Amino acid sequence: MLGNLGKSLTNTMKKLAGMTIIDEKTIKEVVKDIQRALIQSDVNINLVLKLSKRIEDRSLNEKPPKGITPREHVITIVYDEMVNLLGKEPHELEITDKPYKIMFLGLQGSGKTTTIGKVCRFLQKKGFSPAVVCTDTWRPAAYEQLKQLTEEMQIQLYGDPDNKDAVDLAKKGLKTFKSKKIIIFDTAGRHKEEKDLLNEMETLSEVINPNESMLVIDGTIGQQASEQAKAFSNATNVGSIIITKLDGSAKGGGALSAVAEIGAPIKFIGTGERLDDFEIFDPERFISRLLGMGDIKSLIEKAEEVVDEDLANETMNAMLSGKFTLKDMKNQFDMMNKMGPMKQLMNMIPGLGGNIPKEASQMTEDKINGYKIIMSSMSKYEMENPKAIKQSRVIRIAKGAGVRNEDVKELLKYYNNTKRAMKGMGKRNMGGGSMNRLM
**Segment near ligand GDP (CB under 6 A), from 31-39, 105-113, 285-293, 311-319?**
105-113
Task: Name which position in 90, 106, 159, 283 contacts ligand GDP (CB under 6 A).
Answer: 106
| Count of alpha carbons within 13 angstroms of residue 106, beta-carbon side | 28
DSSP string, 80-126: HHHHHHH-SSPPP----SSSEEEEEE--TTSSHHHHHHHHHHHHHHT
* Residue 167 to residue 164: CA distance in whole angstroms: 9
> Residue 435 in contact with residue 352, Cβ under 8 Å?
no
Find the part of the chain contacting ligand GDP (CB under 6 A) among 108-116, 282-290, 305-313, 344-352.
Answer: 108-116
Residue 273 is a binding residue for ligand GDP (CB under 6 A): yes
Shortest approach of ligand GDP to residue 146 CB, angstroms? 9
Binding flag, residue 112, ligand GDP (CB under 6 A): yes
Pick one of 26, 52, 114, 213: the residue that binds ligand GDP (CB under 6 A). Answer: 114
How many C-beta atoms surround the C-beta of residue 439 within 10 A?
Answer: 8
Stretch binding ligand GDP (CB under 6 A), from 111-119, 164-172, 302-310, 414-422: 111-119
Query: Segment 281-340, which members bind ligand GDP (CB under 6 A)?
Result: none
Q: Which residues within the stretch 189-248 sit at the binding site for ligand GDP (CB under 6 A)?
A: 189, 244-245, 247-248
Kind and range of the H or E run holding 365: helix 365-376
Q: Which CB sits closer to ligand GDP, 276 or 314? A: 276
For ligand GDP, the closer CB: 136 or 261: 136
Looking at the Cβ atoms of 79 and 143, the one nearer to ligand GDP is 143
CA atoms within 13 A on the CB side of 417: 13
Do 215 and 102 form a contact (C-beta atoms < 8 A)?
no
233 annotated as belonging to a binding site for a ligand: no
Q: Which amino acid is at 320?
A: L
In angstroms, the CA 419 to CA 315 distance is 12
Q: Tell which residue, 284, 293, 297, has the closest CA to residue 84.
A: 284
β-sheet with 182-186: strand ranges across:
157-158, 131-134, 182-186, 100-105, 212-218, 240-244, 266-270, 278-280
Q: Which is nearer to ligand GDP, 76 or 108 (CB)?
A: 108
Q: Which residues does residue 134 pair with via DSSP β-bridges, in sequence order? A: 186
Report, in Å, the least distance between residue 239 CB and ligand GDP. 18
Among 99, 272, 370, 424, binds ligand GDP (CB under 6 A): 272
Distance in Å, CB of 277 to ligand GDP, minimum = 6
Binding residues: 106-113, 186-190, 244-247
Q: Which residues bind ligand GDP (CB under 6 A)?
A: 106, 108-114, 189, 244-245, 247-248, 270-273, 277
Could you tell me which residues are annotated as the binding site for GTP?
Answer: 106-113, 186-190, 244-247
